[in-house]
Amino acid sequence: MSSFAIYPAFQRILADDEISPPLAAILALTELIEHSDAGTMFELVQAVEEGAAALKKQASNPISVDAGCSLFIAFVTLFPHDSANFSDLKKELIRQGQTYAAEALTYRKKIAELAFGFIKDGSVILTHSYSRVVMQALLLAHKRKRISVFVTEARPRGLGIKTAEALTAAGVPATVILDSAVAYVMDKVDFVLVGSEAVVESGGLVNAVGSNQIAIIARAANKPFYALAESYKFHRLFPLSQYDLPSHNSKILSFPRPLLADRSPPNQSSFPSEAAPHSDNQPDLVPPRITQEQISQNNPDVDYTRPDLITLVFSDVGSLTPEGVSQYLVGMFAG
């Protein structure tokens, strides 16, 4: 494999606000092929797999990056290898990768138009965090219908504020609510509309942490929970719980060790014998100083929402039930 540095290429591509992590991963792997000195298909597939592994190791959002990498590796592996000239085959892979990425940028518009039919005039919508495709759907609806939007603050990243500011700037009535106020506001809401980091093989959803509890509350209140997801975010992952997600690690939700105070012997001359300090052989604990950064580091960025809590998934391949997502994924990776 050549000395091509894939992660800097990924970061450069991701600097474009229209490019999401899965697409940036696909384009970075396309550039890897362009710079690869592989002379056989076996060597090329190996180089792509090593590049994907390097990306996932360094990316802050490994689940969505893995979705893009898995899709591209499947494409390369299943691509017809009937070209007599291997150099021509590489050029065709590069061309098709770039063509796919360009076409994929149109998916949000398709999804927004599909979701538009489910948004009635006067709808009150609850959304969570920030999602490009959700923003496109809401702005499209605002052009033709009256809507108002509650936006969760979405800690620890706080991206709900970005959503609310963008909606307000476009003239959409929007207000930010605390993550802990979702149940309080749910009775005022017609439906929930969220984006996705990935849609997994069960038809469940991986999205900004808090999505799962919103889905649970929506189900309890009998409100539809819709997810918007580009098909390149469909991922062959089958988590059974939150702790099966690749992003989970031992530091998340860990209990920090208490800090012990210095218990060096005091200056005896400063204490009269009848007023000696009482000791019960228990350690003195230092009162903790907890910062927002510590809270963020000790909490997950994403969570998993079970398929039975999701009403529909709107994608560029249609409006799908969670079961429909499973069937589509099987066909997508079967070639």
Q: Tens of pLDDT along 228-255?
A: 999 999 998 999 899 898 888 888 888 8
Q: How many CA atoms lie within 13 A of 93 on its CB side?
A: 32
Per-residue pLDDT at 104 exceeds 70: yes
Give residue 235's pLDDT: 92
Q: What is the pLDDT confidence band of residue 71, given thresholds at 50, 70 and 90? A: very high
Residue 148, pLDDT above cutoff 50:
yes
Q: Is the pLDDT of residue 269 over 80?
A: no
Q: Which residue has the higher pLDDT, 96 or 278?
A: 96
45-56 residue pLDDT tens? 999 999 999 999
At 261 the pLDDT is 58
Q: Are strands 191-194 and 198-200 parallel, antiparallel or unpaired?
A: unpaired
Closest CA to 144 of 106, 115, 176: 115
**Alpha-carbon span 55 to 72, nearest angstrom:** 13
Q: Which of 7-11, 277-281, 309-313 has the lowest mean pLDDT?
A: 277-281
What average pLDDT score do residues 151-158 get? Answer: 93
Q: Which residue has the higher pLDDT, 71 or 259?
A: 71
- Residue 11, pLDDT above cutoff 70: yes
**What is the pTM assigned to this prediction?**
0.86
For 271, the token pair is 């204490």
Q: How far apart are CA 312 and CA 192, in angstroms?
A: 11
Averaged pLDDT for residues 285-292: 76
321 token code pair? 């039930």
Helix (H, G, I), strand (E, B) or coil at 43: helix
Q: What residue has token string 């709808």?
A: 123
What is the percent of the chain where pLDDT is above 90? 66
Is residue 257 pLDDT above 70, yes or no?
yes
Tens of pLDDT, residue by residue over 169-190, are 999 999 999 999 999 999 999 9
Q: Answer for the pair 110, 135: CB distance below 8 angstroms, yes or no.
A: no
pLDDT number for residue 220? 98
pLDDT of residue 249: 81
Question: Which domains are present in the chain?
Answer: 6-106 (1.20.120), 118-238+298-334 (3.40.50.10470)
